[in-house]
Amino acid sequence: MLDRIDRNKNNLETIALEVVTLDVQDIPALGNILNYLGEMEGDSPAIDQPIFQELLQAIKGYIENLILGETADATPLEDGIDSLQTIYRHLSNQQEYKGDTSYVLEKLGFKKAESEDKEKEPEIEPEAAIEEEEKECTKSAGKDLSQEDQEILSGFVMESLESLEAVEVSMMDLEQYPGDIETINSIFRAFHTIKGVSAFLDLDRINMLAHRAENLLDKARSGEIRIDATVIDICLESVDLLKKLIVGVQNGLEKDVSLDIGLDIGPLVNRIDEIQEKADRIGDKPVGEIMIQKGEITPEELAKGLEKQKQEPDKKIGQILVQDKSVEPKSVVGALRDQKKTGRRHIDLQVKVDTKKLDNLVDLTGELVIAQSMLRQNRTILELRDQQLMNNLGQLTQITTGLQTTAMSMRMVPIKSTFQKMVRLVRDLAKNSGKQVKLKMSGEDTEIDRNVVDELYEPMVHMIRNSVDHGIGTPEERRKAGKDKSGEIHLMAYHQAGNIVVEISDDGRGLDKEKIIEKAKAKDLITDESKMSESEIYNLIFHPGFSTAKQVTDVSGRGVGMDVVKKAIEKLRGKVEINSSPGRGSTFIIKLPLTLAIIEGMLVRVGQEKYVIPALSILESLRPTKEQYSTVEGKGEMILTRGKLIPLIRLNRIFDAECDHNNPWEALVMVVEQNGNQIGLLLDELLGKEEVVIKSLGETLKDIKGIAGGAIMGDGKVGLILDMAGIWDLMMGVEN
């Protein structure tokens, strides 16, 4: 029997390939599939699986309908082949197949003979059927997987999680536009792919849930069920459960344990089945359904056309509707074109690369840039004055710069993935708080370093939660304030001056300065606010434990969050600014470097030491006069600039270095900003703007305050990259 199974398995693989590339009008191809099915049917009596015979008959009957032109939808045929392949996998492992194929048989239009119905076994209750099916799913995929299997499973995990994140965003779109066929199709394709691959990998529990969700979406796209809040919720629950199951596979691979974490999917599967059982069919002709959904004909006109088609079976429904003048010919042509759309988009050829290899490439490119810079500044080479050598060095510089740009771009990914996660977050927060909130996004295709994207997620979650809980009011509060009952949060990303800017704004209440000042005084953070700018007042919310909420909620109010945001952004060498208007809303502006591997900054000299000051922090540089310099009791040295006194910091004292000038009016002062506060750094010389490759100082020196890292200069020496947050803490006497 196993020989026959292997032979039929090969035939089935050939059929599956034919079906994937099938044009339903290609009669010879349909005939070839029938021939292969005929060979398989000859072997079926030797295989003790009754469902095998039923599926074969159903698929053959459906292909005959395709040949006769009675249907043009190949989807049920694909589902039937998928089911046969699943059965064969069980047969190859000498296991009995206990899955449910009734839905597939129904789509294929297969009906059992009346005598068979009478002799069938007593019907199993839905709960019992699910329980039995789950028993089959609890089988572990095994601990001893080959390297190839592990790579396939890892690829499945990564691609499936990405697909499910995209589904979440599409579900939000579908909630606003329930009739959008393209959106329904994209969601359907995601579940269909997960179902197909999980079946191939014997991840039965994932396969079962994805299959049920796919069936639900299939009924939605065929118009058999209406997209409403219940369907949206169930699909989102399916996404959540599938994520947990797939993450379980990931953990199983990493920890060498079972890939099945044993989650109970029965209740959700039952709910999906209940919705499908209640579905009311509105028609069977895809072209007619498309024209109904486009508003070109009414269901009544389609029903009338279908009745007429029974009298004239040689005519297609489109021809009948045109003859009855129910629709214009161009509408039928448009519907046929829509029917042919596969929804596939052009995708550039891609190669998957291990991130470690990619990071190694970036590091080596950085080393090449450093070596090239050192070569150009080598005194021996410069003294040669060989024009050909200079031309070759210039060409080397161009190639190195191009290679560096390409290598860095390989690390860049759109910020869209992080933005998409916020869609679901806003929906859930609004639902739990009884508020109505819409999320608007722009600039999702803005690219940013892959590592920055990962680190940006947590700060954005905190700020979104605060916007919903503190910023956006209830529908009643907004109505009294003369606003639309639905609040809006706007996520925006864009590039600016070599950095990426992410703005999170809402149209809510805005920050209450009086409450902030009152809370700050109660916590002894300030004593007199009269000399504080608006920005400095708003920045008080970044202090640990600071919250103006009157009560603690599930969302916020414990004073945990904004200090986390500040630390996370500073860790990325960025900064966050706040703009707020009472009664109109708030905007949080996050400015970050495009990449964590290269920093753009100003190269400066203090004595014999060179330092790099991040460009994002720099406001201006000046040579102060004697009149601008003063000392203030309790505050130390100060510089007057633009009508404001700012603290003066001597870098040579912080880092125990020599300097050329002790008097500020003989040296230079660079004004930098940190968390809304301005400070002046005393320097000997500005050497120019540089893009440098960041190097770690190692475990021993990693925790030195005021230093973010090191960079190898063109002369081969190490320059220290300054950390403005650390220098501010040193000035304020903050301990590690």
Per residue, the 3-state secondary structure of 160-192, as one string, reads HHHHHHHHHHHHHHHHHCCCCHHHHHHHHHHHH
The pLDDT of residue 561 is 64
Mean of pLDDT values over 201-214: 86
Q: Which of 108-122, 264-278, 582-596 has the lowest mean pLDDT?
A: 108-122
What are the tens digits of pLDDT across the range 380-395? Answer: 887 887 888 888 888 8
Q: Which of 15-24, 545-554, 572-581 has the lowest mean pLDDT?
A: 545-554
State the pLDDT confidence band at 491, using cuts at 50, 70 and 90. very high
Cβ-based neighbour number of residue 542 at 10 Å: 20
| Chain mean pLDDT for the chain | 78
- DSSP letter, residue 471: I
Q: Which of 87-96, 108-117, 196-205 has the lowest mean pLDDT?
A: 108-117
Mean of pLDDT values over 407-422: 81
- Statement: residue 482 has pLDDT above 50: yes
- Statement: residue 670 has pLDDT above 90: yes
Instruction: Provide the CATH topology of domain 1-120.
Output: Four Helix Bundle (Hemerythrin (Met), subunit A) (1.20.120)
- DSSP letter, residue 695: B
∠ CA 503-509-514, nearest 5°, is 105
The pLDDT of residue 671 is 93
State the pLDDT confidence band at 680, using cuts at 50, 70 and 90. very high
Mean of pLDDT values over 668-694: 86
Inter-residue contact 287 to 336 (CB < 8 Å): yes
The pLDDT of residue 133 is 47
Tell which wins on pLDDT, 30 or 283: 30
* Whole-angstrom distance, CA of residue 463 vs CA of residue 299: 48
Q: Which of 94-103, 413-422, 439-448, 454-463 has the lowest mean pLDDT?
A: 94-103
**% of the chain with per-residue pLDDT over 70:** 82
* Whole-angstrom distance, CA of residue 416 vs CA of residue 435: 25
509 contact partners, CB below 8 Å, separation of at least 6: 470, 471, 473, 582, 583, 585
State the pLDDT confidence band at 121, using cuts at 50, 70 and 90. very low
What are the tens digits of pLDDT across the range 220-230? Answer: 877 777 788 88
State the pLDDT confidence band at 344, using cuts at 50, 70 and 90. very low
What are the tens digits of pLDDT across the range 496-541? Answer: 766 788 999 999 988 888 888 888 888 888 887 777 878 888 888 8
Tell which wins on pLDDT, 328 or 457: 457
- Statement: residue 554 has pLDDT above 50: no
- Highest-confidence range of 10-14, 545-549, 562-566, 701-705, by mean pLDDT? 562-566
The pLDDT of residue 685 is 92
Q: Which of 229-243, 312-326, 507-521, 619-633 has the lowest mean pLDDT?
A: 312-326
State the pLDDT confidence band at 557, using cuts at 50, 70 and 90. very low
- Six token digits for residue 23: 């044009």
287: amino acid identity, one letter = V
178-193 in b/e burial notation, b at 16+ Cβ within 10 A?
beebebbbbbbbbbbb
Inter-residue contact 209 to 238 (CB < 8 Å): yes
State the pLDDT confidence band at 282, using cuts at 50, 70 and 90. very low
Mean of pLDDT values over 230-234: 86
State the pLDDT confidence band at 294, using cuts at 50, 70 and 90. low
**% of the chain with per-residue pLDDT over 90:** 9
Which residue from 669, 666, 626, 624 is spatially nearest to 651, judged by alpha carbons? Answer: 669
The pLDDT of residue 278 is 63
- DSSP letter, residue 46: G
Q: Which of 89-93, 205-209, 255-259, 341-345 has the lowest mean pLDDT?
A: 341-345
Per-residue DSSP letters for 244-304? Answer: HHHHHHHHHHHHTS-S------HHHHHHHHHHHHT-----S-HHHHHHHHTTSS-HHHHHH
CATH classification (class only), 415-593: alpha beta
557: amino acid identity, one letter = G
Identify the residue whose tokens are 């700060």: 459
Q: Which helix (H) or strand (E) holds 689?
A: strand 685-693
- Statement: residue 280 has pLDDT above 50: no
State the pLDDT confidence band at 258, using cuts at 50, 70 and 90. confident
Inter-residue contact 487 to 481 (CB < 8 Å): no
pTM above 0.85, yes or no: no
Mean of pLDDT values over 714-736: 75
Tell which wins on pLDDT, 351 or 496: 496
- Provide the sign of the torsion angle of the four alpha carbons 706, 659, 619, 374, taken in this order: negative
Q: Which helix (H) or strand (E) holds 417?
A: helix 416-433
Cβ neighbourhood burial of 393 (10 Å; 0-12, 13-18, 19+): middle
The pLDDT of residue 228 is 80
Cα 298 to the center of its chain, rounded Å: 39
The pLDDT of residue 675 is 66
- Statement: residue 319 has pLDDT above 90: no
Instruction: Provide the CATH topology of domain 598-732.
Output: OB fold (Dihydrolipoamide Acetyltransferase, E2P) (2.40.50)
Cβ-based neighbour number of residue 148 at 10 Å: 8
- Highest-confidence range of 140-149, 367-376, 666-675, by mean pLDDT? 666-675
CATH classification (class only), 355-413: mainly alpha
Mean of pLDDT values over 26-52: 71
The pLDDT of residue 669 is 93
Mean of pLDDT values over 391-420: 83
Cβ neighbourhood burial of 656 (10 Å; 0-12, 13-18, 19+): exposed
Which residue from 599, 594, 585 is spatially nearest to 689, judged by alpha carbons? Answer: 599
State the pLDDT confidence band at 733, using cuts at 50, 70 and 90. low
* Whole-angstrom distance, CA of residue 84 vs CA of residue 389: 69
Phi, then psi, of 717 in degrees rounded to 5: -85, 165
Instruction: Provide the CATH topology of domain 136-280.
Output: Four Helix Bundle (Hemerythrin (Met), subunit A) (1.20.120)
Inter-residue contact 472 to 465 (CB < 8 Å): no
Q: Catalytic positions, please?
A: 192, 214, 466
